[in-house]
Amino acid sequence: MSLKSVLLRGAAVLTAAGALAGLAAAPAAAKPHHDEPLVIAHRGASGYLPEHTLEAYALAVEMGADVIEPDLVLTKDGELLARHEPVLDETTDVAAHPEFADRKTTKLIDGKPVTGFFADDFTLAELKTLRAEERLPALRPGSAEHDGEFELVTYDEVLDYVATLDRKVITYPEMKHPSYYGDKGMSIEDALADLLEERKLDKKRSPVWIQSFEYESLLNIDERVDNRIGLNIDGQGAIPDATLDEYAETLDTVSLNKNRIFPRGADGSISEPTDIVERAHERGLDVHVWTFRAENSFLPANLREGSDPAAWGDYEAEFELFYDLGVDAVFSDFPDLAIAARDC
């Protein structure tokens, strides 16, 4: 579908006609660094199966994903577990295990109190007795049908799986909440660096990229390994040239919330893109973008179809907008949709 068609349809349902027209008139941005953008399977094929399970990663690979993304947290015994955050409540059946009822507690994460069951209060052996559950069952009932089927996995096990494949698949681990572990005298940076060194995956050419929302954490692990590293940047708003200059000296990638590139208006719609992709490319930084999902709940208002939050909207148009700007990679819960939009 052309951008013009997208905008005409959006204009029929929104009053922000001027902003929509601006989308169609937006100038082309910098030339992409790659022949085509890479597709990163966000937490695996997490639109179809419970996230961060070996089954979700394998489905993503089967769909053709170039990269799979395991978020990493630490267990009590220092293992790297593939989970999106230290708290287990939303993505496992931990609450159904009476033997662990006394582990529920309140801790500070990013300065905010969080109550639940924390991975760092469990050994890996204990965590292996849990089973994964769908985070968004109301939006993804098909995935929720697999609740209780899949065990939790370590990053070591993910690397074992990737080593069996007959094509190159990059893993893109994200160190979650490094400061949280640092406050406890634990180092997620050292745990990851130790594993990569042990497996001889600590080189620039290694099929492992490293990411974090914490800049200092990336600088710390960069002292141990030579892998490509990228900073995740949330929110929206301009990133100053001086900041990009600093990142260009220390990083390989900036990984941006979509709103940094196509800001959302008060009504949830998007209009003209910023120039962040072009400015990052001028400094030699790759630009990765997150997160692409098919459901109306996550799409810009001018790309939603109908009022059902779980229904799929015009996700193809959203991919097209970002691909046309020359981004280097996209994170998607639906890697097959990202690939189809890229290759059409």
84 flagged as catalytic: yes
Mapping DSSP to helix (H, G, I), strand (E, B) and coil, where does residue 112 land? strand
Lookup: tokens for 103: 């582990």
From the number of C-beta atoms within 10 Å of its C-beta (0-12, 13-18, 19+), residue 223 rates as: exposed
CB 291: neighbour CB atoms within 10 A?
Answer: 16
CA distances 238 to 23, 260, 275, Å, are 18, 7, 9
| Measured distance CA(193)–CA(170) in Å, rounded | 17
CA distance 69 to 57: 8
What is the C-alpha to C-alpha distance for residues 75 and 282, in angstroms, rounded to an integer? 40
Q: pTM higher than 0.85, yes or no?
A: yes
* Domains located in the chain, CATH noted: 3-53+61-73+153-343 (3.20.20.190)
- Give, for all 344 residues of the chain, the pLDDT tens digit: 333 243 333 333 332 333 333 333 333 333 334 579 999 999 999 999 999 999 999 999 999 999 999 999 999 999 999 999 999 999 999 999 999 999 999 999 999 999 999 999 999 999 999 999 999 999 999 999 999 999 999 999 999 999 999 999 999 999 999 999 999 999 999 999 999 999 999 999 999 999 999 999 999 999 999 999 999 999 999 999 999 999 999 999 999 999 999 999 999 999 899 999 999 999 999 999 999 999 999 999 999 999 999 999 999 999 999 999 999 999 999 999 999 999 98
Asked if residue 174 lies in contact with residue 167, where contact means CB atoms within 8 angstroms, the answer is no
Q: What angle do CA 89, 94, 95 make, to 5 degrees?
A: 80
Tally Cβ neighbours within 10 Å of residue 103: 15
Say how far apart CA 88 and CA 177 lie, in whole Å: 14
Bridge-based pairing of strands 228-233 and 253-257 is parallel
Q: Which of 52, 84, 177, 281 is catalytic?
A: 84
The one catalytic residue in 33, 34, 42, 52 is: 42
Which tokens in the block code for residue 126? 């204990």
Q: What is the identity of the amino acid at 185?
A: G
CA separation for the pair 101, 290 (Å, rounded): 35
- Length of the chain measured in residues: 344
Quick count: other Cβ atoms within 10 Å of Cβ 111? 7
| Residue 286 CA to its chain's centroid (Å) | 15
